[in-house]
Chain A
Amino acid sequence: MMWIRSFLRGWLIAAALIAPMHAIHAAELAPAAILAALASDDNTARNEAIGQLGLLASPGGADILAALAGGQLLLTADGTLLIRRGNEAVNCATGDTVSVPADAQPISLNNRLRRSLQAAQASSELFSTNVATRFAAAQRLQKEGDPARAPAIKRALEGEQDPEVRQALNIALAASSVKSPDADERLHAVALMGDSMDPAFRPVLSAMLAQGANGAPAETDARVRAAATKAISQIDKHQTVVSWVGNLFYGISLGSVLLLAALGLAITFGLMGVINMAHGELLMIGAYSTYVVQLLFKSMAPQWLNWYVVVALPVAFILTALVGMALERTVIRWLYGRPLETLLATWGISLCLMQAVRSIFGAQNVEVANPSWLTGGVTVLGNLVLTYNRIVIIGFAFAVVAVVWLVLNYTRLGLFVRAITQNRRMADCVGVATGRVDMLAFGLGSGIAGLAGVALSQLGNVGPDLGRGYIVDSFMVVVLGGVGQLAGTVVAALGLGALNKFIEPFWGAVIAKIVILLIIVLFVQKRPQGLFAPKGRSVE
């Protein structure tokens, strides 16, 4: 029986390879030989036929495969194949639409057939008219690395025009031909793998270099072994670059969040020497106002839902600025010159704010969804995903810094703020309304916290204790950056963020925090006034 089967298989392959060269009948979905094999009750022949369908560069093959996968491919007693379309059916051999015969039964699949069906569908996607589908299919084949796919990939390469898809196909070909018996082909495949720098190939390559059971390397050809070693080092080098770039990106991202959180704190601390322990709760209010804006958009303007974040920014800014100014007027104003007491009073306020949010919104986290333009990300260096929300927040943080810089340097309020930071008494003497400026500056600092809250809501959970985690970190930024120095705050925030992310992979997040704390304590030994210490008489 075996010889009959292998004969049949050979014949079918031959028929299928020849088939596309003939002009297929306009209405015919697939060559008759393949259809016949599919209709037979021999599972091996069916298996082959499914494979052939995957190689057909025609939409008909894909149609049949999809129908087979969906259980819509029917077989009548006389061996006719039909694709069910509702109450009617399409005859695969003629393309005619007929009514479904009574004796038509769906073709059932066993596991083996189902596997080859999946593979065949993937191959047939290589011939899709859609570039993205072809690219995705090529990428999937790279992962599979099945030598049986090599012919399909080669065929696809012949007709492929798009350079990106061609490159992906080349790599897929390498993955599938690396087990080829031909040493030259293997050599070529290994070189391609090295050039692709895809870490997915590393196990394959190291398996080639590994010692077999008899002590000899698995790969017999010395040239291929040398190429494999080179390819591995290429891949490893690339991975090092990727992890550095990744750490840098996530470090800058964390830094930008810290920057947003610390910026407002730096302004109020620099101006009034006041630690606002409720600053974290202002972040939280900003995040919750994002949530409320999102709810309002959902119920009132669902078509604009994608842009709720843009509206949330001014809402959060104004709301938190008002809260901040109210705090300044009612509590902090009365505690000037008593920074430790201010710390306690603002802590009390933070407790009340947290509990208020718990009473209104519940103790659970609320759901703030990213709008579609903030979901997903760009893939760089092969396998590093930089998410859009982080990229946008990095840009946003710098935009906020730029605006704050402009406000401080080119507005009347900024002038007054700088004057008071340098010498409160003298500013008061020359007629600066220090009380009013304090209030406005406190409002500005709090408003920035609100903006930071909007940004935070796009990155993580929004809950009543959102702010708690940031107060210590933000103050570390202020300590490190020095008082009243925007540049110091920026450098300190980004530096701490990056440092954190570079330590984390080695020692974990907790040790990273402790190490950073120690670094700050030691740093303050050397420069008690921070990175960018003010010079001159204003120094205490």
Chain B
Amino acid sequence: MNAATRSSTLSYESGTLFSAKAWAGIVAVAALFAALPALNLIFPPGHSLYVSAFAIALIGKFMCYAMAALALDLVWGYAGILSLGHGLFFALGGYGMGMYLMRSGKPSPDIVPDFMTFLSWKTYPWFWSFTEHFWYAMLLVLIVPGLLAFIFGYFAFRSRIKGVYFSIITQALTFAAMLLFFRNETGFGGNNGFTDFKRILGFDITSPQTRAVLYWTTLAALVGSLVLGRAVMQSKLGRVLTAIRDAESRLRFLGYEPLGFKLFVWTLSAVICGIAGALYVPQVGIINPGEMSTENSIEMVIWVATGGRGTLIGPIIGAGTINGLKTWFTSVFPEFWLYALGLIFVLVTLFLPQGIVGLVRKLGRGDKGQSS
């Protein structure tokens, strides 16, 4: 907590969201990534500019991870609340979307999936009613993680559960939810979750065009969350949050009640994470309780830590880096990936407390110091 205090990464003075240079960078990188599916659609396989469908799916997936990491950075990097349960919000969003996709792929949305047939359920249970409508499913994607986060956060923050206590309780919450979703009779598809998606809003989900649209949507959502996160953190509210991270008791003595601030950023983070999950599911084609495993949630934290917390852009870089490494390792040295991940955890916390972004800034400053 106090390590982050030392970071001088935030410039509160400027009223603008980003500097012109930052805007240019964001637009350029976003445009570059936006061009990739176009290359996939325009050029035939084998052409030197062709981007494979696999790469598009992979980058789409990474962008969802990056969104989740960004959401985590809002609470951890700025408010000092380390959540080990963001996988739960991610999966809840995914389940909302997954149910819609599963129903829309059937000849009639009232046909129950196999796992419900095995339970001899004839109709969808109440909590899945209306999920055949896209707008309603999307509402669920926003509301369910948000509401859960709000209720849980209210009780946790009200009793001033902080630090590692809060982290472990979020982990326990995710663990309990995973057990619940693993059960067959709870109506969440048990072990297998939801899969066998065919159509989204009437479009074939496997066609390159649909995939490109999903990719662009994800990219837009990611950039949107980045701008939103930046706007929140540049506002006065963001300053109060940073103050909560650095000295909660002092803030309290100054007359602020941290509960509302924490609750706001916590709920916002859960909602962004839920959206990321909802965008993730149509691109990977399955959602199951494995997404809620404690390992996944902690991995999200290391994305943020590697990229640099409290920087918003860092988590995006971190999610890309770690997942890129993971993809490479699991295809080349699958048995060494866990060693590598474990080492990343240790080395980043020991030697890179400010992450990649912090390192770059330090080097940049160092160079300037030498030149002047």
Interface residues of A (CB under 8 A from B): 273, 275, 331, 334-335, 337-345, 347-352, 354-356, 358-359, 468, 472, 475-476, 479, 510, 513-514, 517, 520-522, 524-526, 528
The stretch of B50-58, B205-213, B217-225, B340-348 that contacts the partner chain: B340-348
Is the CB–CB distance between B167 and A331 below 8 Å? no
Is the CB–CB distance between A344 and B163 below 8 Å? no
Is the CB–CB distance between B345 and A275 below 8 Å? no
Q: Bound state CA distance, A513 and B345, in angstroms?
A: 29
Is the CB–CB distance between B175 and A472 below 8 Å? yes
Chain A residues lying within 8 Å of B82, measured Cβ to Cβ, are 340, 343
* A344-B342 contact given A472-B171, A472-B172, A517-B172, CB 8 Å threshold: no
Is the CB–CB distance between B164 and A343 below 8 Å? yes
Is the CB–CB distance between B349 and A275 below 8 Å? no
Residue of A nearest to B176 (CB): A514
Is the CB–CB distance between B155 and A479 below 8 Å? no
Digitize B168-179: 1 where CB-to-A-CB distance is under 8 Å, 0 elsewhere: 110111011001
Judge whether B298 is part of the interface by a CB distance below 8 angstroms.
yes
Indicate the size class of the contact surface on chain B. 35 or more
Residue of B nearest to A335 (CB): B349
Is the CB–CB distance between B163 and A524 below 8 Å? no
Is the CB–CB distance between B168 and A510 below 8 Å? no
* A348-B3 contact given A335-B350, A341-B353, A521-B169, CB 8 Å threshold: no
Question: B81 to nearest A CB, angstroms?
Answer: 10
* A341-B2 contact given A352-B339, A513-B179, CB 8 Å threshold: no
Chain A residues lying within 8 Å of B159, measured Cβ to Cβ, are 524-526, 528
Chain A residues lying within 8 Å of B165, measured Cβ to Cβ, are 479, 524
Chain B residues lying within 8 Å of A337, measured Cβ to Cβ, are 2
Chain A residues lying within 8 Å of B169, measured Cβ to Cβ, are 479, 517, 520-521, 524
Is the CB–CB distance between B167 and A343 below 8 Å? yes
Is the CB–CB distance between A345 and B335 below 8 Å? no
Q: Bound state CA distance, A528 and B1, in angstroms?
A: 20
> Ordered nearest first, which 10 A-B pairs have the shortest CB separation?
A348-B345, A351-B342, A352-B342, A355-B338, A348-B342, A345-B349, A525-B159, A341-B349, A348-B346, A510-B179
Residue of B nearest to A351 (CB): B342
Interface residues of B (CB under 8 A from A): 1-3, 82, 152, 155-156, 158-161, 163-165, 167-169, 171-173, 175-176, 179-180, 182-183, 294, 298, 301-302, 305, 335, 338-339, 341-346, 348-350, 353
Majority secondary structure of chain B interface residues (helix, strand, loop or mixed): helix
Determine which of A342, A345, A472, A528 lies in contact with B168 in the assembled complex, contact meaning CB atoms within 8 Å.
A472
Is the CB–CB distance between B345 and A347 below 8 Å? yes
| Residue with the greatest number of chain A CB neighbours at <10 A, chosen from B1, B159, B172, B183 | B172
Determine which of B180, B305, B343 lies in contact with A510 in the assembled complex, contact meaning CB atoms within 8 Å.
B180
Question: B39 to nearest A CB, angstroms?
Answer: 37
28 A-B contacts, Cβ less than 8 Å apart? Answer: A275-B164, A331-B346, A338-B353, A340-B167, A341-B3, A343-B82, A344-B302, A344-B349, A345-B346, A345-B349, A348-B346, A348-B349, A349-B342, A351-B339, A355-B338, A355-B339, A358-B335, A472-B294, A476-B168, A479-B169, A510-B179, A514-B176, A520-B169, A521-B156, A521-B169, A522-B155, A524-B161, A525-B158
Given contacts A348-B349, A349-B346, A521-B169, 13 further A-B contacts (CB under 8 A): A335-B350, A339-B164, A340-B1, A340-B164, A341-B349, A344-B305, A345-B345, A348-B344, A510-B182, A513-B176, A514-B179, A521-B155, A526-B159
* A479-B168 contact given A341-B3, A510-B183, CB 8 Å threshold: yes
Is the CB–CB distance between A338 and B3 below 8 Å? yes
Question: B288 to nearest A CB, angstroms?
Answer: 16
| Residue with the greatest number of chain B CB neighbours at <10 A, chosen from A347, A475, A522, A526 | A347
Residue of B nearest to A353 (CB): B342
| Residue with the greatest number of chain A CB neighbours at <10 A, chosen from B160, B180, B302, B342 | B342
Question: B76 to nearest A CB, angstroms?
Answer: 8
Majority secondary structure of chain A interface residues (helix, strand, loop or mixed): helix
* A359-B350 contact given A340-B82, A349-B342, A514-B176, CB 8 Å threshold: no
Determine which of A335, A352, A354 lies in contact with B343 in the assembled complex, contact meaning CB atoms within 8 Å.
A352
Q: Bound state CA distance, A437 and B160, in angstroms?
A: 31
Question: A505 to nearest B CB, angstroms?
Answer: 17
Residue of A nearest to B165 (CB): A479
Chain A residues lying within 8 Å of B302, measured Cβ to Cβ, are 344, 348
Is the CB–CB distance between A359 and B155 below 8 Å? no
Chain A residues lying within 8 Å of B342, measured Cβ to Cβ, are 348-352, 355
Residue of B nearest to A269 (CB): B164
Determine which of A341, A510, A528 lies in contact with B161 in the assembled complex, contact meaning CB atoms within 8 Å.
A528
Is the CB–CB distance between A352 and B338 below 8 Å? yes
| Residue with the greatest number of chain A CB neighbours at <10 A, chosen from B155, B169, B182 | B169
Q: Bound state CA distance, A510 and B169, in angstroms?
A: 17
Is the CB–CB distance between A514 and B343 below 8 Å? no
Residue of A nearest to B171 (CB): A472
Q: Bound state CA distance, A359 and B160, in angstroms?
A: 42
Q: Bound state CA distance, A338 and B349, in angstroms?
A: 10
Question: B330 to nearest A CB, angstroms?
Answer: 13
Is the CB–CB distance between A528 and B176 below 8 Å? no
Residue of B nearest to A473 (CB): B172
Residue of A nearest to B350 (CB): A334
Q: Bound state CA distance, A285 and B348, in angstroms?
A: 25
Determine which of A343, A345, A351, A468 lies in contact with B341 in the assembled complex, contact meaning CB atoms within 8 Å.
A351
Question: A340 to nearest B CB, angstroms?
Answer: 5
Residue of B nearest to A527 (CB): B159
| Residue with the greatest number of chain B CB neighbours at <10 A, chosen from A342, A351, A472, A524 | A351
Q: Bound state CA distance, A148 and B324, in angstroms?
A: 78
Chain B residues lying within 8 Å of A273, measured Cβ to Cβ, are 164
Residue of A nearest to B156 (CB): A521
Chain B residues lying within 8 Å of A522, measured Cβ to Cβ, are 155
Q: Bound state CA distance, A113 and B158, in angstroms?
A: 77
Chain A residues lying within 8 Å of B155, measured Cβ to Cβ, are 521-522, 525
Residue of A nearest to B301 (CB): A344
Q: Bound state CA distance, A351 and B302, in angstroms?
A: 13
Q: Bound state CA distance, A520 and B159, in angstroms?
A: 12
Question: A76 to nearest B CB, angstroms?
Answer: 63
Is the CB–CB distance between A528 and B160 below 8 Å? yes
Question: B283 to nearest A CB, angstroms?
Answer: 27
Is the CB–CB distance between A354 and B176 below 8 Å? no
Question: B170 to nearest A CB, angstroms?
Answer: 11
Q: Bound state CA distance, A339 and B346, in angstroms?
A: 13
Chain B residues lying within 8 Å of A514, measured Cβ to Cβ, are 176, 179-180
Question: A275 to nearest B CB, angstroms?
Answer: 5
Q: Bound state CA distance, A342 and B349, in angstroms?
A: 8
Is the CB–CB distance between A517 and B176 below 8 Å? yes
Q: Bound state CA distance, A339 and B4, in angstroms?
A: 13
Is the CB–CB distance between A476 and B172 below 8 Å? yes
Question: A332 to nearest B CB, angstroms?
Answer: 10
Q: Bound state CA distance, A491 and B107, in angstroms?
A: 57
Determine which of A331, A338, A521 lies in contact with B1 in the assembled complex, contact meaning CB atoms within 8 Å.
A338
Is the CB–CB distance between B298 and A354 below 8 Å? no
| Residue with the greatest number of chain B CB neighbours at <10 A, chosen from A359, A472, A522 | A472
| Residue with the greatest number of chain B CB neighbours at <10 A, chosen from A350, A355, A513 | A355
Q: Bound state CA distance, A479 and B171, in angstroms?
A: 13
Chain B residues lying within 8 Å of A275, measured Cβ to Cβ, are 164, 167-168
Residue of B nearest to A339 (CB): B164
Q: Bound state CA distance, A520 and B168, in angstroms?
A: 12
Is the CB–CB distance between A348 and B183 below 8 Å? no
Q: Bound state CA distance, A475 and B171, in angstroms?
A: 11
Chain A residues lying within 8 Å of B346, measured Cβ to Cβ, are 331, 345, 348-349, 352
Is the CB–CB distance between A345 and B176 below 8 Å? no
Question: B350 to nearest A CB, angstroms?
Answer: 6
Q: Bound state CA distance, A343 and B297, in angstroms?
A: 13
Chain B residues lying within 8 Å of A356, measured Cβ to Cβ, are 339
Q: Bound state CA distance, A425 and B344, in angstroms?
A: 32
